[in-house]
Structure 1
Amino acid sequence: MELKDRILAPEIIEAYKELDTTEVADAVNRFGYNTGMFGLNCIVPGTKLCGQAFTVLFGVCQGGFEGKMDYLDEVPAGNVIVIDNDGRLDYSCWGDLMSRVAMRNGVNGTIADGIIRDIPDIREMKYPTFARATHMWTGKMHSYLEATQVPVRIAGVSVNPGDLIFGDDTGVLSIPFEIAEKVLAAAQEIHEREKVIEGFIKQGMRLDKAREETGYYFLQEAKKAGK
């Protein structure tokens, strides 16, 4: 499938925004995937990140600046920037100026397998951002833009351009494009079932009984990938 064909309908993305990452993660697990990005933290509390992946791959400079660094004006509005900086903790790959441009251009957030800086300004902007850690050290003269819109690996998870990225205060995960609609339906089912459980609990029912009544234990039952 060509990149131009990997576009999700806007209503699918909007529907995801009504959910949380725990519900979506349980739904992803149902299809035999484990795409939670362990070690990536929500940098701006209270924000939610949701959109299709625009992938960015950085390389390591071997002796000074090596070519192009900027790519932001290529990112379509509504996308989420996904930066593969190989999990490096010795220099940053994102900051406040990039966040300002991204917000101006309608980008829905950034995840970085590495460190980012300028945290006070990013939090003031409320720009949804996930990263391994924060530190002030610059990436200038240390990294260069190797490619965009190529498969990358983020915190051990393979991400392809167009995959759906979803994150909140609990964490961030990737939903493969091919199953995004099926995962949404499963997550909505889990969401509704948990609401029923909450109602039973408010009525005084035991948790184990409430879960048994709703078939909760089987909602996350893994199935073969792609089914």
Structure 2
Amino acid sequence: EPADVIRARRMAYYKAMAEGPKPSVAVVEDVDYPNCIGAYWGEVNTTVHKGFGMSGALTNGVMRDLGDLAPGFPVVAGSIGPSHGFVHVTELGTPVEVFGLRVNPGDLVHADRHGALVIPADIVGQIAAAIQKMQDTEHLVLGPAREEGFDFAKFEAAWAAFEKART
């Protein structure tokens, strides 16, 4: 493609990231997967996206500059390595697939160091209560386990309460 077409698409991408609703994460499918060689995510793009007010990124592609990433801007990526390719935007605002996870524009994505998932819109209103229940239930074991004098008998009682709360 001509350089001006590639540049225009790149600028449209950055404009969408800057002006999109927040909080948000960038979900970028590297179409070269599984043979990715170009690192899109590094010091420059994490800093730019964080500057736009975004919260993080999810990609099946390569990331680099681990010691220089924007603080507080997590990236879940397919691999780590130098960038030896021509990284450029090919599409914007379309459904993508990252490690089998289908993400559509506007989807609610939860990601952490263990991976990512799309939260179905019809259960969003139940999430706060589900998180609170999970934390309360785990505390039935974690609380006693963190106390002085924790032993097997205390664990057994805590685990019984934990199992009862989960069923």
Shared fold per TM-score greater than 0.5 = yes
For residue 78 of structure 2, what is the aligned residue in structure 1?
132
For residue 73 of structure 1, what is the aligned residue in structure 2?
15
Q: Residue 173 in 1 paired to residue 81 in 2?
A: no
Contact 1:200 1:210 in 2 (8 A): yes
Relative contact order higher in (CA < 8 Å, ≥ 6 apart): 1
CA distance in 1, matches of 2:154, 2:74: 38
CA distance in 2, matches of 1:153, 1:104: 26
Structure 2 unaligned blocks of 5 or more: none
Contact 2:140 2:161 in 1 (8 A): no
Measure how far apart 1:151 and its partner are: 1.9
Q: Residue 197 in 1 paired to residue 141 in 2?
A: yes
CA distance in 1, matches of 2:65, 2:10: 18
For residue 150 of structure 1, what is the aligned residue in structure 2?
94
For residue 52 of structure 2, what is the aligned residue in structure 1?
105
Per-residue CA deviation, residues 86-125 of structure 1 (Å, 9 max, x unaligned), is 4343222323222221111111111111112222221x63
CA distance in 2, matches of 1:109, 1:183: 20
What SS is found at the alignment partner of 2:105?
coil
Contact 1:111 1:131 in 2 (8 A): yes
What SS is found at the alignment partner of 2:62?
strand
Contact 1:111 1:130 in 2 (8 A): yes
TM-score scaled by length of structure 1:
0.57
Higher strand share: 1
Measure how far apart 1:198 and its partner are: 1.7
Per-residue CA deviation, residues 172-192 of structure 1 (Å, 9 max, x unaligned), is 333233322323321221111
TM-score scaled by length of structure 2:
0.74
Identity %: 23
What SS is found at the alignment partner of 1:137?
coil
The structure with more radius of gyration: 2
For residue 211 of structure 1, what is the aligned residue in structure 2?
159
CA distance in 2, matches of 1:199, 1:126: 29
For residue 42 of structure 1, what is the aligned residue in structure 2?
none
Measure how far apart 1:132 and its partner are: 1.1
Q: Residue 183 in 1 paired to residue 130 in 2?
A: no
Contact 1:193 1:216 in 2 (8 A): no
Give the direction of change, closer, same or farther, for the CA distance of 1:118–1:200 in structure 2 (3 Å limit). closer
Measure how far apart 1:206 and its partner are: 4.7
CA distance in 2, matches of 1:96, 1:199: 40
Per-residue CA deviation, residues 154-213 of structure 1 (Å, 9 max, x unaligned), is 111122222222333444333233322323321221111111222243354454542332
For residue 28 of structure 2, what is the aligned residue in structure 1?
83
Aligned alpha-carbon RMSD (Å):
2.8
Higher helix share: 2
